[in-house]
Amino acid sequence: MEQLKTTGAPTIEWRHDARQVPYRAALAEQEARNTAIAEGRADELIWMLEHPPVYTAGTSAPADELVDPRFEVVETGRGGRYTYHGPGQRVGYVLLNLATRGRDVRRFVHGVENWVIATLGDFGVEAWAVPERIGIWTRDVDGSEAKIGAIGVRVRKWVTMHGFAVNLAPDLSHFSGIVPCGIADYGVTSLARLGLAVAPEEWDGALRERAGDFLAAIQSPE
């Protein structure tokens, strides 16, 4: 088991899965780990993985945004609307105890956004968050604004679940079965579409290099 350690902070398990993990199995494991972390029976967890093709529904997903349910659809309990996960998209599940970090959900979400944005910058991709639109955005090959990453979290017993997903090289046509995150006016892009070949382990390694900055950013200043 790999670990992340920062001075004076709890041990965090860093898990890297090369295999595809079925979405329902990952969700069940998150829910069990969430309870164990809240009860002090397990370390916190950052889990990097990919899923077989699946559409996931957040708590505010309307039925008319599921355009073509060609893949399994799973209700998740996280915030947000419909999201696609599949091969070529790297998912990061972040299970941290906010009770020891000031109980500030907004600071946590902004910390996740900035972590992903900074890591994309390490690969030469300028990206940003937009307050009125969920997700991580960049310039597509035609110069238009397009979504390259998704953010979706749930907090239960002050322990976070779910996290983020970044498009390394997925089949972008799979996104057409939904209105991604309820935003119909913008496209979806990937690092591969932008001309960058980034392997999953390379992406995971870059995220890990910046994990200390992320953890410092979400820690209560008190």
pLDDT at 194 over 90: yes
Beta strands at 12-20 and 44-50: parallel, antiparallel or unpaired: parallel
Per residue in 130-182, pLDDT (tens digit) is: 988 889 999 999 999 999 999 999 999 999 999 999 999 999 999 999 988 67
Give the sign of the dihedral formed by CA 25, CA 82, CA 20, CA 168. Answer: negative
pLDDT band at 5; cut points 50, 70, 90 = low
pLDDT at 32: 98
| Residue-range definition of the domain harbouring residue 113 | 2-218
> Tokens 């307050």 sit at which residue?
131
pLDDT at 222: 62
Torsion angle of the four alpha carbons 159, 205, 107, 31, in this order, in degrees rounded to the nearest 10 = -20
Per residue in 79-118, pLDDT (tens digit) is: 788 999 999 999 999 999 999 999 999 999 999 999 999 9
| Whether residue 181 lies in the annotated active site | yes
**Residue 104: which CATH number?**
3.30.930.10
pLDDT band at 10; cut points 50, 70, 90 = confident
Average pLDDT across the chain, whole number: 93
pLDDT band at 6; cut points 50, 70, 90 = low
Residue tagged active-site, from 57, 109, 178, 181: 181
Per residue in 70-81, pLDDT (tens digit) is: 999 999 988 788
The Cα–Cα gap between 112 and 90 comes to 14
Averaged pLDDT for residues 20-45: 97
pLDDT band at 185; cut points 50, 70, 90 = confident
Say what percent of the chain tops pLDDT 90. 83
The Cα–Cα gap between 140 and 15 comes to 31
Please count the structural domains in the chain. 1
Residue with the bigger pLDDT between 58 and 115: it is 115
pLDDT at 77: 81
DSSP H helical ranges for the chain: 23-38, 105-122, 200-209, 211-218
